[in-house]
Amino acid sequence: MELDTLAKPKAYSSAVEEGQNGSTTRDDRDLMRLGKKPVLKRNFGFMQILGFSCTVLVTWEGILQVSTPSLLNGGPAGVFWGYLLIWIGSISIYTCLSELASMMPTAGGQYHWVAMLSPPSCRKFLSYITGWVTLIGWQATTASSAYLAGTILQSTILMLDTSYSPKPYQSMLLGWSVVLFAVVINTVGSKTLAHFEGLILIIHVLGFFAILIPLVYLSDHGDASIFTTFVNSGGWSTEALSFMVGLPSSVFALVGVDSCVHMAEEVKNASKVVPRAIQISVLLNGTLGLAMLVAYLFCLGNLDTVLEQSATLGYAYLYVFLQGTGSPAGAVTMAMIMWVLGVCCLVGLMAATSRQLWSFARDNAVPFSNTVTKLHPRTLLPNNTIFITAGVAILLSFINLGSAVAFANIVNLSIGGLYASYFIICSLLLWRRIQGIKQYDPTTALVGPDTLQWGPWKIPGALGIANNVFACGYILVMWFFSFWPSSVEVTAQSMNFSSVTFSGIVIFAIVWYLIRGRKSYVGPIVEVTPE
């Protein structure tokens, strides 16, 4: 049954399967208005989901880890001005996502929104493809996080023991260990997940000061030339083009705030809390990221030496820590703080990715959907999708055995997948916004494509349209450059394989749609409706 048919879906009035309070909550009614049956436990309050969102973003940690490509193409000035541009663009994107999360607070996120926003002629196909590119982006982001955790730990060991020779299989096995930890927290420790995320928010903020203070106090400082020093190591025709090529790596530090969208069915007062958490997390993380980036650039030292040492250590910021503190033990302590927060990020990534997969399977969009969607009888959690997400991350890690460069491009693949889904939903929202969307009316029994209405949170009038237009333009530019190689002279080492991987998975999704998906997938299924 398609969402827009409204053809006698069964009523669901049993207080969420005879809930303890004997009546449906506002969250349950909001979800039932979208045709979905409330089955997950709502364990996340505002602080817990804010912590979840902030620790998945890990912006101040991430900008240090992924800044090296931007230093090569863009230089210190490119990293700084590029970050400002990316932060502004991210605020614009996530404002649009906040509006949609308030309208339709479901774990499905992008593919469900597309089904509600698209014209009938392409609704089913666009929704299906959007679900797949979102799945690509989230699975790639989870695998990338595990890869970073493994390689950063190797580089940390190398700072203590210069005779150590890192091997690809070692980073793979170290990545597996953090994946296993994330699985344990998401399954065995599922009852503590919400409290865990709230605690990590505190550590996330305290860790920022634990890195910033010794870095600034102990390091030698550069001058204001960092704001005007551009570098074109890729041999591009202009510095402007080099700057654009280096931008996508910094995007990774601000991508994925829609993680809390995919947790919406486990959040209390989701239609208001999720948008608020998105906005605060991107502002808080963006501010911390900017402060850390400025401090890092002033403490960078000789750029050529830093880039040369990054080839040995793997990450430029580790050499800056080592050079600034003058102590391997001090640098390792700082690095381990960031590593711990990166592992905690993986816990949230696995949760968000598994919920998105579970929701997509709930609407018969992936192979073996009936098995994929089964919930654990005691915890009511989608353990199967957690295990699948972990399995995909482990399988992708084998790529590192053949080519570390190919696996590193999965970072760009996550940007390509998520930004593709963002562009589709933002452009459709702009189209429907211009046509006109009804005001929020909680008495509406079932909200569908023909009865679409705003949620409690939105940007009004012309300001909302202007923001929507800017978001679409920004996404398109970033998505385009995310597939570019790092230099003009393309070799097996400098090739950006994410374009090949992204195209291959999209082709697979289209072929699967033509073979089976168009028969099994009809869009978000109307499971229930309020009485």
User: What pTM does this model have?
Assistant: 0.88
End-to-end CA distance of the chain: 18
What string of pLDDT tens digits covers the 531 residues of the chain? 444 433 333 433 333 343 334 335 788 888 888 888 888 888 888 988 998 898 888 899 989 888 888 888 999 999 999 999 999 999 999 999 999 999 999 999 999 999 999 998 889 999 999 999 898 889 888 988 898 889 889 999 988 888 888 888 898 999 999 999 999 999 887 777 777 887 888 889 999 999 999 999 998 888 888 899 999 988 899 999 999 998 888 888 888 888 899 999 999 999 999 999 999 999 999 999 999 999 999 999 888 888 888 778 888 899 999 999 988 999 999 999 999 998 989 999 999 999 999 999 999 888 888 888 898 888 888 999 999 999 999 998 887 776 666 656 666 678 888 899 999 999 999 999 999 888 887 777 677 788 888 989 999 889 999 999 999 999 999 999 888 888 888 776 667 777 787 888 888 888 888 888 888 888 887 777 655
DSSP track, 145-173 = HHHHHHHHHHHHHHHH-TT----HHHHHH
Integer Cα distance of 242 and 249 in angstroms = 13
User: Which backbone phi and psi does 232 adopt, to 5 degrees?
Assistant: -125, 75
Q: Is 500 exposed, middle or buried (0-12, 13-18, 19+ CB in 10 A)?
A: middle
Integer Cα distance of 438 and 241 in angstroms = 43
Tell the residue number behind the tokens 């091997």, with chain if given.
167
Integer Cα distance of 457 and 147 in angstroms = 37
Task: Give the HSE-up count for residue 236: Cα atoms under 13 Å, Cβ half-sphere.
Answer: 21
Q: Which residues contact 177 (CB under 8 A, 6 or more apart)?
A: none
Tell the residue number behind the tokens 């809930």, with chain if given.
19
Integer Cα distance of 521 and 145 in angstroms = 31
